């Protein structure tokens, strides 16, 4: 069964450093998403991406964040200058359709630890 | 008003019984609804989606949506210990590449 994959599973970085989290969405899916979950808190939407551009973003997704689809399979989230409060699980998700059929399938996540 | 609200639990249910999980939502996230299961330290796993009023059944799971009351529920029949997890309710506004708005989740414990 096709699934979303993410690398690395765990990333440790120093405050102020740049990190890139990588995702390979399900191959026939057209919509891509990033979410984060701070330990013990709810899953929060960051950004959605369709047709090679950002479709929607939350207030969390400020100028330190960017997303890119560098080739036909990868989808990345870059955090330019990490802060302690960026420590969280980051989940990538993808869906085949938008609108009402927007069933999103999540990858296993990357645990980001900022020291 | 929070956009998606759930009772955090824990909800304890005997094995073999029906577990009933509830969720209310605000006007903004009023189009499509999803139930996810999340085991500790793992990612959300999609269980059910529901878009229109009424019931939708899939195996041991039934999702119910009542748009007039802004209420969505998930019933799990014949509960198994492996059903013990946190159940996340999520909604969208229904447009395009919509981000999901999640509730905090209900922690379900199935007692053997």
Cα–Cα dist A76/A90, whole Å:
11
Q: How confident is the model at residue B93 (pLDDT cuts 50, 70, 90)?
A: confident
Is B99's CB within 8 Å of A45's CB? yes
**Does B1 score more than 60 pLDDT?**
no
Q: Which residues of B touch A (CB under 8 A)?
A: 31-32, 34, 36, 42-46, 49, 51, 88, 90, 92, 94-105
Is A100's CB within 8 Å of B45's CB? no
Mean pLDDT (chain B, rounded) = 93
Is B98 within 8 Å of A102 (Cβ atoms)? yes
CA A55 to chain B, closest CA, distance in angstroms equals 6
Cα–Cα dist B30/A78, whole Å:
31
Q: How confident is the model at residue A52 (pLDDT cuts 50, 70, 90)?
A: very high
Q: What is the pLDDT of residue B2?
A: 62
CA B26 to chain A, closest CA, distance in angstroms equals 17
pLDDT in tens, A62-114: 999 999 998 888 999 999 999 999 999 999 999 998 777 789 999 999 999 99
Across B37-66, average pLDDT: 96
Is B99's CB within 8 Å of A58's CB? yes
């Amino acid at each position: 069964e096709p699934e979303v994959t993410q690398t690395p599973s765990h990333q440790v970085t120093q405050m102020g450093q740049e990190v890139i989290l990588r995702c390979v969405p399900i191959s026939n899916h057209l919509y891509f998403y990033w979410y984060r979950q701070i330990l013990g808190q709810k899953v929060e939407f960051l950004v959605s991406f369709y047709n090679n551009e950002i479709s929607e973003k939350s207030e969390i997704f400020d100028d330190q964040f960017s997303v890119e689809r560098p080739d036909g399979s990868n989808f990345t989230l870059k955090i330019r200058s990490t802060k302690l409060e960026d420590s969280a699980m980051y989940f990538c998700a993808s869906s085949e359709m938008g609108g009402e059929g927007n069933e999103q399938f999540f990858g296993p996540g990357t645990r980001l630890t900022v020291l | 008003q929070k956009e998606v609200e759930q009772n955090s639990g824990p909800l304890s249910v005997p094995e073999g019984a029906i577990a009933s999980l509830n969720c209310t939502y605000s006007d903004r996230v009023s189009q499509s609804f999803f139930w996810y299961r999340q085991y500790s330290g793992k990612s959300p796993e999609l269980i059910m989606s529901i878009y229109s009023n009424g019931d939708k059944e899939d195996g041991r799971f039934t999702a119910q949506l009542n748009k007039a009351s802004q209420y969505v529920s998930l019933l799990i029949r014949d509960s198994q210990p492996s059903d013990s997890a946190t159940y996340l309710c999520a909604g969208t506004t229904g447009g395009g590449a919509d981000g999901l708005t999640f509730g905090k989740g209900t922690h379900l414990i199935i007692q053997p």
